[in-house]
């Protein structure tokens, strides 16, 4: 499935029209899809349709016409003269069926809501960039306060469709029918919650046109299955991947251990941890090499890298003294390298090293991405797709921007997003687990973007399995325990 900005959706609509599919036909299909969703999901005998003055309102007029056969329908409208010819045509068709819309005024809305109808929100669709004001904002507030269930058309009114931002007063929908494709806001918080249960309706735009006009893929188990690591019956540990983990410190050795354990559960053939701390040795499968950051660390790591590093993971819980040698360390071996946490140093020398390396995967959270982009965490949260793309372009690396919805961006512009997981994953160490998983799976340097996408989905699935057992009290190591089941489910198409 693809994710659309308002501009991309308009371009797809126009491309469909240029190919011979009239926009009026798309509006008819959209309204019919909304009416079908009402029939499938809601038993309310009364339906109140709120129509705006644009094409979203036109969809509402069509939905109202189709619902006349099975429900008692009333329509309140912002304007009796919609802005588009197609919406005006659909309004006339509704009049021909005997239903006359009334003005959306306070008294009329109050009376209509007293009957506890299902409310169809067709006021504003995608492309809204300013807060709702005046009578419209007041009407939305009344709908929200009424306790009535609401089905929104395409995007809940008052939501900025291209970000996760809430512009101000907005409809809190029970369900949203997104037309032709998912909208950006449906995946990103806080706007995501306003959509309620979201679905996508086919309105007749050919798949080839949709694929050509959307730049973001919504990740799914089916979409990443082909990129999950597999093993031949006669393989050995050096073929499935040897991982050198450069991580940990006296304070944060647990981060290093979790990354190593995750890598082993993700199928790494051999995991070596280079760390200055005293490793507790609770997992005997992890090889521990002592590292002294004050005594030729690059020499030690060069020797280890020659023998045990088809892939490197640098950063979980990393000693702060490593910052001085990070650029040199990154450039030391041209093997796939995952940079997490303490290895996301930033600065001109660091950025040059990452770009010159050419095989890096960066795993920042919003705060770390803000530091690398020299902006605020709020700016990253507001536009995570843009932030991930910009960072990928600047560094030449695959970027995994972690969050409740995680974004994966490649330097060539490919972008994907995944909204899976469990709220309990908001706990220390889950990022270390993801870093270890990616370290195990990124041995195929020709498919770093695809492997990163697969890792994000698998990590989220493990979080869902751990969350089902432990709820909001899950801890990071629970994900490691849940990972074999999650991986098996993804391979088997479950």
Per domain, the residue ranges of the chain are: 2-214, 221-492
Q: How confident is the model at residue 228 (pLDDT cuts 50, 70, 90)?
A: confident
pLDDT at 488 over 70: yes
The CATH architecture that domain 221-492 belongs to is: 3-Layer(aba) Sandwich (3.40)
The H or E element containing residue 467 is: helix 448-470
- Does the annotation list 365 as a binding residue? yes
- Does the annotation list 382 as a binding residue? no
Q: In what order do the strands lie in the sheet with 72-77?
A: 102-103, 72-77, 46-51, 118-122, 150-153, 175-179, 197-201
Residue 393: the pLDDT is 98
pLDDT digits (tens, 9 = 90+) for 404-416: 999 999 999 999 9
pLDDT digits (tens, 9 = 90+) for 461-487: 999 999 999 999 999 999 999 999 999
- Does the annotation list 197 as a binding residue? no
Q: How confident is the model at residue 253 (pLDDT cuts 50, 70, 90)?
A: confident
The H or E element containing residue 416 is: strand 415-418
As a whole number, the mean pLDDT across the chain is 93
pLDDT at 141 over 70: yes
- Does the annotation list 13 as a binding residue? no
- Does the annotation list 128 as a binding residue? yes
- Does the annotation list 144 as a binding residue? no
| Inter-residue contact 75 to 94 (CB < 8 Å) | yes
- Does the annotation list 254 as a binding residue? no
Residue 73: the pLDDT is 97
Least confident of 10-24, 125-139, 190-204: 125-139
- Does the annotation list 127 as a binding residue? yes
Residue 282: the pLDDT is 66
Alpha-carbon radius of gyration of the chain? 26
- Does the annotation list 70 as a binding residue? no
pLDDT digits (tens, 9 = 90+) for 181-200: 999 999 999 999 999 999 99
- Does the annotation list 370 as a binding residue? no
Q: What is the spatial distance between Cα 406 and Cα 478, in angstroms, rounded to a whole number?
A: 20
Residue 298: the pLDDT is 86
- Does the annotation list 52 as a binding residue? no
- Does the annotation list 403 as a binding residue? yes
- Does the annotation list 255 as a binding residue? yes
Q: How confident is the model at residue 445 (pLDDT cuts 50, 70, 90)?
A: low
- Does the annotation list 102 as a binding residue? no
Q: Which fold has domain 2-214?
A: Rossmann fold (3.40.50)
Least confident of 70-74, 106-110, 173-177, 292-296: 292-296
- Does the annotation list 406 as a binding residue? yes
- Does the annotation list 57 as a binding residue? yes
Q: State the pTM of this model.
A: 0.91
- Does the annotation list 404 as a binding residue? yes
Residue 478: the pLDDT is 96
Residue 384: the pLDDT is 95
- Does the annotation list 222 as a binding residue? no
- Does the annotation list 39 as a binding residue? no
Residue 252: the pLDDT is 87
- Does the annotation list 294 as a binding residue? no
- Does the annotation list 307 as a binding residue? no
- Does the annotation list 125 as a binding residue? yes
Residue 114: the pLDDT is 94
Residue 304: the pLDDT is 76
pLDDT digits (tens, 9 = 90+) for 382-426: 899 999 999 999 999 999 999 999 999 999 999 999 999 999 999
Least confident of 174-183, 254-263, 305-314, 464-473: 305-314
Q: How confident is the model at residue 456 (pLDDT cuts 50, 70, 90)?
A: very high
Q: What is the DSSP string of 61-122?
A: HHHHHHHTTTSEEEEEES-SS-SSHHHHHHHHHHHHTT---EE--HHHHHHHHHT-PEEEEE
CA angle centred on 123, ends 119 and 129, rounded to 5°: 135
- Does the annotation list 131 as a binding residue? yes
The H or E element containing residue 418 is: strand 415-418
pLDDT digits (tens, 9 = 90+) for 14-72: 999 999 999 999 999 999 999 999 999 999 999 999 999 999 999 999 999 999 999 99
pLDDT mean over 95-122 = 96
């Amino acid at each position: 499935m693809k994710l659309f900005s308002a501009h991309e959706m308009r371009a797809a609509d126009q491309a469909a029209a240029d190919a011979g599919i009239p926009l009026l036909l798309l509006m008819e299909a959209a309204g019919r899809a909304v009416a079908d969703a009402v029939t499938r999901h809601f038993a309310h005998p009364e339906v109140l349709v709120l129509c705006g003055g644009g094409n979203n309102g036109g969809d509402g007029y069509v939905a109202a016409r189709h619902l006349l056969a099975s429900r008692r329908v009333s329509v309140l409208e912002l304007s009796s003269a919609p802005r588009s010819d197609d919406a005006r045509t659909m309004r006339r068709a509704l009049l021909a069926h005997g239903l006359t819309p009334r003005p959306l005024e306070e008294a009329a809305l109050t009376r209509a809501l007293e009957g506890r109808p299902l409310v169809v929100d067709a006021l504003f669709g995608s492309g809204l960039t300013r807060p709702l004001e005046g009578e419209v904002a007041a009407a939305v507030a009344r709908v929200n306060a009424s306790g009535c269930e609401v089905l929104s058309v395409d995007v809940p009114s008052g939501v900025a469709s291209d970000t996760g931002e809430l512009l101000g007063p907005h409809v809190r929908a029970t369900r949203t029918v997104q037309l032709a494709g998912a909208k950006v806001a449906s995946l990103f918080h806080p706007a995501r919650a306003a959509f309620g249960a979201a679905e996508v309706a086919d309105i007749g735009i050919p798949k080839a046109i949709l694929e050509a006009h959307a730049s973001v893929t919504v990740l799914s188990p089916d979409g990443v299955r082909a990129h999950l690591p597999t093993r031949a019956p006669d393989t050995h540990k050096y073929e499935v991947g040897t991982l050198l983990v450069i991580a940990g410190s006296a304070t944060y050795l647990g981060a290093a251990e979790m990354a190593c354990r995750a890598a082993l559960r993700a199928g790494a053939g051999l995991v070596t941890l280079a760390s200055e701390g005293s490793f507790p040795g609770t997992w005997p499968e992890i090889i521990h090499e002592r590292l002294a950051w004050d005594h030729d660390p690059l020499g030690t790591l060069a020797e280890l890298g020659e023998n045990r590093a088809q892939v490197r993971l640098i950063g979980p819980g990393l000693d702060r003294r490593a910052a001085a040698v990070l650029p040199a360390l990154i450039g030391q071996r041209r093997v796939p390298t995952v940079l997490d946490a303490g290895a996301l140093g930033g600065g001109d020398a660091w950025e040059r090293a990452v770009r010159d390396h050419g095989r890096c995967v960066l795993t920042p959270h919003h705060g770390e991405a803000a530091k690398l982009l020299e902006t605020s965490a709020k700016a990253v949260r507001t536009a995570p797709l843009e932030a991930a793309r910009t960072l990928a372009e600047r560094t030449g690396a695959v970027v995994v921007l972690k969050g409740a919805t995680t974004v994966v961006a490649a330097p060539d512009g490919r972008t994907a997003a995944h909204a899976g997981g469990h709220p309990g994953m908001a706990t220390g160490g889950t990022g270390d687990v993801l870093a270890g998983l990616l370290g195990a799976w990124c041995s195929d340097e020709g498919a770093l973007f695809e492997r990163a996408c697969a890792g994000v989905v698998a990590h989220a699935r493990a979080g869902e399995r751990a969350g089902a057992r432990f709820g909001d009290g899950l801890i990071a190591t629970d994900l490691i325990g849940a990972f074999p089941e999650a991986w098996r489910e993804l391979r088997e198409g479950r």
